[in-house]
Amino acid sequence: MKTRHALIALTVLITVPAVALAGWFGDERPPANAKPLSEIIKGVEEAGHKTIVELEFEDGVYEIEALDAQGKEVKLKVDPVSGKVNVK
């Protein structure tokens, strides 16, 4: 019986912090007034970055890895509302 109680206690001690931390790793979403992703990509392409290697939304901006005209990888930050493209 003691073993069973110990296992229950251990399970609770492991599960509760894991559930609490799950919010830290939740997916962020662009704000409701953000431009459609297709417009964001079009803006990146118009800025001369035709090949997008990776795209994610993090810390309130789109973080994009793309290739410039010379084939060099560049990191971009794009405002989801204005669509402004900034090279990091």
pLDDT digits (tens, 9 = 90+) for 44-73: 999 999 899 999 999 999 999 999 888 999
User: In which residue are the tokens 């990191």 written?
Assistant: 75
How much is the pLDDT for 15? 53
CATH topology of domain 2-87: Nuclear Transport Factor 2; Chain: A, (3.10.450)
How much is the pLDDT for 68? 86
CA distance 82 to 74: 20
pLDDT digits (tens, 9 = 90+) for 69-81: 889 999 999 999 9
